[in-house]
Chains A and B, each alone.
Chain A
Amino acid sequence: MSSAQIEIQLIASLVAVACAIPGTFLVLRKMAMISDAISHSILPGIVIGFFITQDLNSPLLILLAALTGILTVVLVEYIQKTGLVKEDTAIGLVFPALFSIGVIMIAKNANDVHLDVDAVLLGELAFAPFDRLIVSGVDVGPKSLWIIGSILIITIGLLFSFFKELKVSTFDAGLAASLGFSPVVIHYGLMTVSSVTTVGAFDAVGAILVVALMIAPAATAYLLTNELKRMLIYAICFGVFSAISGYWVAHWLDASIAGSITTMLGLIFLIVYLFAPRKGIIAVLYREKQQRTEVSLLTFLLHLKNHTEERERHVNHLNEHINWQKVRSKTVLDLALKNNMIQLDKNIVSLTEKGEDFTSQAIDYIITNEDTQIEDMKDDFFLFRG
């Protein structure tokens, strides 16, 4: 592995961390698409910068781009605060407007210059190691590594200093206000950080990868935990893992690096979506099945309690009377037996003491219908745990 390859992985990993931190908050605040919006709305900033400097490589262009990014956020916030439209609608209103202003400015004044977001800002990760930063004749590493590193340090510094404030204002803006710090200030602070990170990362690695790295790791982490600190850590881990594994997939296939990293992010989300212990599809399906069996068991026990005559309590009768299929009745019967709720005597079913007890409580629950009670009951008796 050459030094260029290490540097690419290092830059990709730093971008992943720098994006995961604001990304987590954006996902929690349902503003994930703001990074995508910024990728378009910075165009007028770039165009104005070009008109002032007449130079496509001037840093002023990137500065103005970041400012337009903040303007996007402010406008989105303003429209959203009117209460007439939701966050996503506000985002969708603002960025096409800003983008088209940029397009019209180009069409009117600079039609034969190769001027678009692509030419000025959008970096290519593959070439990042070749753009070196030279300080007094000494090569100190790729330029984008320094840019993204500085952004990351500022982001981490802000995160540690304002973690409590960010946490409270994200989950409960009212409480934040009553505790004495303005949720609006925190919000704009966060959005400014997101905007600067987005623009800086665009320059280093390109647009799609930044949008993907902001949203996918945070969304994946959200499937695994509800705790903010854990979510941040998971998001960072997923981001860095995708960055490095994606790089090697690109190496193996000789394909685009950004494309491979984005694909890895998608794959990881898919895997977590399927197999997450609590919110994953498979876990949810399994839990639903368990709940169905629990309900069936309850119905069965209530039936037994209501009927003292032997005919009603014969095993074969269950199939006809409650209209269950054979497999299901067997599952329910086995479960009840295993939990010592019933006893079998020549195919005649009757409740045990524990069964009686449980069923009475269940009836109580159904009559009073308080949520907490059934949880206690589950703990007392149940079911699948042993």
Chain B
Amino acid sequence: MKKQLITLLAITLFFSCKNEKQSNGKLNVVTTTTMITDLVKNIGGEHINLQGLMGSGVDPHLYKASEGDVTKLANADIIFYNGLHLEGKLVEVFEKMKNKKTIAISDALDKSTLIGSEYFASNYDPHIWFDINYWKQATQFVVKTLSEAIPEQKTNFEANGTKYIEQLNTLKNKVETTINTLPKEQRILVTAHDAFNYFGKAFNFKVVGLQGLSTATEAGVQDVQKLSAFIIENKVKAIFVESSVPKRTIEALQASVKSKGHEVTIGGTLYSDALGDAGTIEGTYIGMFEYNVNTIVGALK
């Protein structure tokens, strides 16, 4: 028995001699969520090998690793992740990695401006990409990190960064114009989970989530009742489904409002924790943001 085990080990070790690390001289960068992948792609461009772990429509709280992800992580030179417990247990894994450069995008931000948990001081809302100002800071942070890693490409990264911040400014103006067409008292956003708090803070929306911060918890009957009363009282026209959260709970909410004799429509699907499919307009951060705003304003008007 022991002999067999040793043989097995020997075979394993023998096969392990070839190393698959790709080395075309570029830096291997791994990112977690689709938002971060898009950001790093805009800055790093063709000067880095970029690989994202999560695909479109994947809920970062509930992401499950595949075998290929191990190789991606093992070969990575820099890992960018969101932090603030967005990626669940993965954040812990990154924090413990001592032989790799792991960068939490949220470290770029001033923690005191973030929205915190009522009960536990060190827990913050992780959905920082919904504030364009934060995303600009994140852009500068990524530019700085990549420039430190590859100093010879510094000018390229900085040029890309400036260009991207330019685009983000344009986006911000465009979005503000759209939102300004919506009267202040109609700016109420009801969604499946509390992903849009920063969005609400930036654009004066009142944001109500059915499920709370973590998508792992389930909405209770009481939550649905309370929220439907709120919808009727404030004459909210539409509620929204999210791409990475099952729409069952929002449909339950709609049914609950209907049962009390009022009408509320489902305004459409918003992208919250993940971007749309790669290659589509919603597959980029800017496209996603515009789409969300147009959907929200269109449905609430």
Contacts and interface: CB of A to CB of B under 8 A. Distances in A.
Contacts of B212: 112
Nearest to B94: A130
B90 interface: yes
B229 interface: no
B96 A130 contact: yes
Contacts of A118: 88-89, 216
Interface residues of B, number: 45
Contacts of B119: 110, 112-113
A127 interface: yes
B214 interface: yes
A383 interface: no
A256 B65 contact: yes
Contacts of B75: 2
A129 interface: yes
The secondary-structure label for the interface of chain A is: helix
Considering residues A6, A110, A124, A240, which has the most beta carbons from chain B within 10 angstroms of its beta carbon? A124
A119 B91 CA distance: 11
B118 interface: yes
Contacts of A251: 67-68
Given A1-B18, A112-B117, A139 B99 contact: yes
B277 interface: no
A247 interface: yes
Contacts of B214: 114
A254 B15 contact: no
Interface string B188-212: 0000000000000000000000001
A113 B98 contact: no
B88 A119 contact: yes
Given A2-B20, A134-B98, A236-B1, A114 B85 contact: yes
B65 A127 contact: yes
B20 A6 contact: no
Contacts of B18: 1
Interface string B108-138: 0000000001111001000000000000000
B252 interface: no
A196 to B, nearest CB: 22
Contacts of B117: 112-113
B149 interface: no
B97 A112 contact: no
B96 A126 contact: no
B67 A1 contact: no
The secondary-structure label for the interface of chain B is: loop
B89 A8 contact: no
A240 B8 contact: yes
Contact of A4 (B13, B17, B70, B90): B70
A131 B119 CA distance: 29
B213 A8 contact: no
A256 B8 contact: no
A5 B70 contact: yes
Given A124-B89, A130-B96, A4 B66 contact: no
Interface of A: 1-6, 8-10, 13, 57, 110, 112-114, 116, 118-119, 122, 124, 126-127, 129-132, 134, 139, 233, 236-237, 240, 244, 247, 250-251, 253-257, 260
30 contacts: A2-B19, A2-B20, A2-B21, A2-B71, A3-B16, A3-B74, A4-B73, A6-B13, A10-B9, A112-B123, A114-B85, A124-B93, A126-B70, A127-B70, A127-B90, A129-B70, A129-B74, A131-B97, A132-B96, A132-B97, A132-B98, A233-B1, A236-B1, A240-B5, A250-B66, A254-B67, A254-B68, A256-B65, A256-B66, A257-B67
Interface of B: 1, 4-5, 8-9, 12-13, 15-21, 64-71, 73-75, 85, 88-90, 92-93, 96-100, 117-120, 123, 212-214, 216
Give the top 8 A-B pairs by smallest Cβ distance, nearest first: A126-B65, A250-B67, A4-B74, A254-B68, A1-B16, A127-B93, A251-B67, A2-B74
Given A112-B117, A127-B73, A250-B67, 10 more contacts: A1-B20, A114-B85, A131-B96, A139-B98, A251-B67, A254-B66, A255-B67, A257-B65, A257-B70, A260-B67
